[in-house]
Amino acid sequence: MNLKGINHITISVSNIEKSIEFYSKVFGAKLLVKGTEVGHRLAYFDLNGLWLALNAQDNIGRNEIHESYTHICFSIDEEDYEPELERLKELNIDIKEGRPRHEEEGRSIYFRDPDGHFFEFHTKTREGRIEFYKKNRPNLTFYI
């Protein structure tokens, strides 16, 4: 099989209107489609070329999501770290403390959407992180 990349990401939300506002303001996502009738409460966004889909499911449990480290991370430039952190604070976004890191690993802003889904803005690339690990984590096994 030859995967060509991510087609879309779908996130289950409890309140479609609240989530549309969050994803528009926090990510600058452009709303493409909105459906609010029963059975089709959804929103499709263009997030810098990524198809992001929200589907409303208001009658499911969401407690364990607050315990999980599962998250989606987006790259930002180092010089955008402080402005993004301030912007999220101004929007009253639920910002979470990240794990301690060495400065060569990059900096991260962790935050949650209204339903508790976890996101990260990170300043380093995958390649940069792997190089850091090669120098500083001798017990890891590398396949590249």
1-13 pLDDT, tens digit per residue, is 886 888 899 999 9
Distance of CA 117 to the CA centre of its chain: 8
List of domains in the chain = 1-60 (3.10.180.10), 61-144 (3.10.180.10)
- Which residue carries 């400065």 as its tokens? 103
Q: pLDDT tens across 54-84, in order?
A: 999 888 887 777 777 789 999 999 999 999 9
First to last CA, the chain: 21
Across residues 16-25, what is the average pLDDT? Answer: 96
Across residues 113-131, what is the average pLDDT? Answer: 90
Task: Write down the pLDDT at residue 60.
Answer: 82
What value does the mean pLDDT of the chain take?
89
125 pLDDT exceeds 90? no
**Which one-letter DSSP state was computed for residue 28?**
-
Report the catalytic residues. Answer: 120
